[in-house]
Amino acid sequence: MKDEQNGAPRTLPIQSATFSNPVNAEIRRASATGIYDIRGGGAKRKLPHFDDLLFLGASISRYPLEGYRERCDTNVTLGTRFAKNPIQLDIPVTIAGMSFGALSGSAKEALGRGATMAGTSTTTGDGGMTEEERGHSNKLVYQYLPSRYGMNPDDLRRCDAIEIVVGQGAKPGGGGMLLGQKISDRVAEMRNLPKGIDQRSACRHPDWTGPDDLEIKILELREITNWEKPIYIKVGGARPYFDTTLAVKAGADVVVLDGMQGGTAATQDVFIEHVGQPILACIREAVRALQDLDMHREVQLVVSGGIRTGADVAKAMALGADAVAIGTAALIALGDNDPKWEAEYNALGTTAGAYDDWHEGQDPAGITTQDPELMKRFDPIEGGRRLNNYLKVMTLEAQTIARACGKNHLHNLEPEDLCALTLEAAAMAKIPLAGTDWYPGKPGTSY
């Protein structure tokens, strides 16, 4: 209690950690509008992540490779199990599926340009394949989604791999949403829907349920495409052990595993922040499933969700992934959320770095929009150049770490190269806590 009359010190006002300002603001917003918050991006809360792991580096027992001179390869082949034409990539960082509709045609073009220069693949998304991305992507993965917007056998045959999307890390179990203001004539036509209406993408495939059906669906897709294309199955980070097992049993060539930090074009905030597991908790379980089936490296594992740097790439690979995929980071490389648009972000009630209303189509950077005026701000050639630079830096960073660990290929990174900084990370990644040889749940230990 305050007691000014006696001149006693006052109790400081204390903000509740539970009812924080953002929480209260959201309660007020919900009570004013009666609708939940929809936004783009991934989980914004702090989660156990790759930052909670460190590489040990070389020492007397392991010798390093010379940083600039000695070879450290980065190539990866995806789809070696059944496909006649596996995909060969120069670097293990791929561009994740992002829909045309969510992104402009020239943003898709820039992703294709950058990925092609860097020697990697890019991926379509909900809404079908555009000429911009097919034309500019040397290796293009074609997503097979529940909505089947724009799905057709010609594009199926001219892609380089097929990705059956079961789920996304941002919203495992959820579908999609594209608000009417982004449904231009072109988007509407590709999706066979009227212009300007809000479009829902179903959360489940319309013509199969469960792993037995999925196996037959894969057979159909292989028959249509002459068994040439690698078939990926993308799952959100929900039950990675079982999902990986079932994907392999259904006949996948590649499993794509997307953790809860993974971005989305638009979903309910409550979904993004409260459903799914962080990617750190998923990788070892997926790898264990592959090992139990004797399929590790035979079926490749691509992981995504919050990958930003070459260190993240190296850590994901040390945990057993064959490659990674990036979404949000690629958009930032193109110029999304750039502080140079700060005044315009402010006008939209936000700030550079926090802008996530990608679904509203008003992106000042001209990337997540279908507005012709905003789109003019984005140059796909410059965007492609920037993405290529960024992919090169990530690769050099990952190589730097691999050489320091004495590895002549990124694939040779292994769990033994790592230690964990927190108990949570130790438990999730099954990596010993720094300074110990122990992690929670380690076989042969009692707690």
* Residues in touch with another protein (CB under 8 A): 33-35, 147-148, 151-153, 156, 177, 179-180, 191-194, 197-198, 200, 202, 206-208, 213, 216-217, 219-220, 223-227
Among residues 48, 86, 92, 97, the one that binds ligand FMN under rule CB under 6 A: 97
Residue whose CB is less far from another protein, 18 or 33: 33
Beta bridge partners of 257: 235, 303
Indicate whether 94 belongs to the interface with ligand FMN (CB under 6 A). Answer: no
Choosing among ligand FMN, another protein, none, which partner's interface includes residue 151 (Cβ < 5 to 8 Å by kind)? another protein
Q: Quick one: which segment of 48-56, 110-118, 262-270, 408-416 binds ligand FMN (CB under 6 A)? A: 262-270
Residue whose CB is less far from ligand FMN, 265 or 402: 265
Q: Quick one: which segment of 23-31, 55-63, 98-106, 178-186 binds ligand FMN (CB under 6 A)? A: 98-106
Indicate whether 258 belongs to the interface with ligand FMN (CB under 6 A). Answer: yes
Residue whose CB is less far from ligand FMN, 251 or 278: 278
Among residues 48, 105, 125, 380, the one that binds ligand FMN under rule CB under 6 A: 125
48: which 2 tokens?
A: 């156990």
> Whole-number minimum distance, CB 318 to ligand FMN, in Å?
19
140-144 vs 122-123, strand pairing mode = parallel
Choosing among ligand FMN, another protein, none, which partner's interface includes residue 104 (Cβ < 5 to 8 Å by kind)? none
> Whole-number minimum distance, CB 215 to another protein, in Å?
9
Residue whose CB is less far from another protein, 39 or 403: 39
Choosing among ligand FMN, another protein, none, which partner's interface includes residue 97 (Cβ < 5 to 8 Å by kind)? ligand FMN
50: which 2 tokens?
A: 């790759």
Tokens 């199926």 belong to which residue?
156
Among residues 94, 104, 199, 264, the one that binds ligand FMN under rule CB under 6 A: 264
Other Cβ atoms within 10 Å of 332 Cβ, number: 19
Rounded CA-CA distance 277/262 in Å is: 10
Residue whose CB is less far from another protein, 268 or 337: 268
Choosing among ligand FMN, another protein, none, which partner's interface includes residue 153 (Cβ < 5 to 8 Å by kind)? another protein
> Whole-number minimum distance, CB 194 to another protein, in Å?
6
Nearest residue to ligand FMN on Cβ basis: 327
Choosing among ligand FMN, another protein, none, which partner's interface includes residue 192 (Cβ < 5 to 8 Å by kind)? another protein
Among residues 92, 119, 263, 364, the one that binds ligand FMN under rule CB under 6 A: 263
> Whole-number minimum distance, CB 348 to another protein, in Å?
18
176-178 vs 254-258, strand pairing mode = unpaired
Indicate whether 363 belongs to the interface with ligand FMN (CB under 6 A). Answer: no
Choosing among ligand FMN, another protein, none, which partner's interface includes residue 398 (Cβ < 5 to 8 Å by kind)? none
> Whole-number minimum distance, CB 183 to another protein, in Å?
11
Other Cβ atoms within 10 Å of 374 Cβ, number: 19
Rounded CA-CA distance 288/282 in Å is: 10
49: which 2 tokens?
A: 């992540």
Choosing among another protein, ligand FMN, none, which partner's interface includes residue 358 (Cβ < 5 to 8 Å by kind)? ligand FMN
What part of residues 291-350 is at the interface with ligand FMN (CB under 6 A)? 304-307, 325-329
Secondary structure of the chain in HEC code, one letter for each residue: CCCHHHCCCCCCCCCCCCCCHHHHHHHHHHHHHCCCCEECCCCCCCCCCHHHEEECCCCCCCCCCCCCCCCCECCEEECCCCCCCCEEECCCEEECECCECCECHHHHHHHHHHHHHHCCCEECCCCCCCHHHHHHCCCEEEEECCCCCCCCHHHHHHCCEEEEECCCCCCCCCCEEECHHHCCHHHHHHHCCCCCCCEEECCCCCCCCHHHHHHHHHHHHHHHCCCCCCEEEEEECCCHHHHHHHHHHHCCCEEEEECCCCCCCCEEHHHHHHCCCCHHHHHHHHHHHHHHCCCECCEEEEEECCCCCHHHHHHHHHCCCCEEEECHHHHHHHCCCCHHHHHHHHHCCCCCCCCCCHHHCCCCCCCCCCCHHHHCCCCHHHHHHHHHHHHHHHHHHHHHHHHHCCCCEHHHCCHHHEEECCHHHHHHHCCCECCCCCCCCCCCCCC
> Whole-number minimum distance, CB 224 to another protein, in Å?
3
Indicate whether 399 belongs to the interface with ligand FMN (CB under 6 A). Answer: no
Binding site for ligand FMN (CB under 6 A): 40, 42, 96-99, 102-103, 125-126, 143, 165, 168-169, 234, 258, 261-265, 304-307, 325-329, 358, 368
